[in-house]
Amino acid sequence: MAQSVMTLFRDGQDYMTTWPVKKELYAHFPECRVVSATRLAVKVMPPMAVLACAAMLNTFGAEYLPQAIAIGAFFLSLPLQGLLWLGHRSNQALPPQLKHWYHEIHSKMRTHGCQVQSLKSRPRYKELAALLKTAFNDIDKVFTRSWF
């Protein structure tokens, strides 16, 4: 399924806001590190790009304008790379072990009376993120600790 780049950016933004960045998940999923790094890059890299370009032009002069633009474009591309990775990852199907874990968590949450989305036969990472977010927001910490 081919997706446009803009769709991947939008999916990455949605996935970044949905994924629960919890210490229990850091050891199991790279999403926690990527989401944290992408959030930092969104805040820090645009000013860094301006500062790097201004410093280069101030130091070396206008004849280094192409190099300054390349450095600025590099700094601006870092948060975009994180969003693209997150957008691509959110649409991937879960591997068999995570799929089983997804079904297990879903059934446990249903038995405890939590409002969860309907069970997907082919869950993707975005459905896992929504389920984990609901679990961490609605369920007691003692109960969720048994999953990790």
Q: What domain range is 126 assigned to?
A: 93-148
Asked if pLDDT for residue 124 goes beyond 70, the answer is: yes
Determine the pLDDT at residue 143. Answer: 57
Asked if pLDDT for residue 139 goes beyond 80, the answer is: no
Backbone angles phi, psi at 93, to 5 degrees: -75, 145
Residue 51 makes CB contacts below 8 A (sequence gap 6+) with none
- In this structure, the answer to whether residues 27 and 81 fall within a common structural domain is yes
- In this structure, the answer to whether residues 68 and 99 fall within a common structural domain is no
- In this structure, the answer to whether residues 86 and 115 fall within a common structural domain is no
What's the mean pLDDT in 29-58? Answer: 96
Asked if pLDDT for residue 54 goes beyond 60, the answer is: yes
In whole angstroms, what is the distance from residue 92 CA to residue 142 CA?
30
Domain boundary residue, one of 53, 68, 91: 91
In whole angstroms, what is the distance from residue 122 CA to residue 80 CA?
28
- In this structure, the answer to whether residues 97 and 87 fall within a common structural domain is no
- In this structure, the answer to whether residues 111 and 63 fall within a common structural domain is no
pLDDT in tens, 3-13: 799 999 999 99
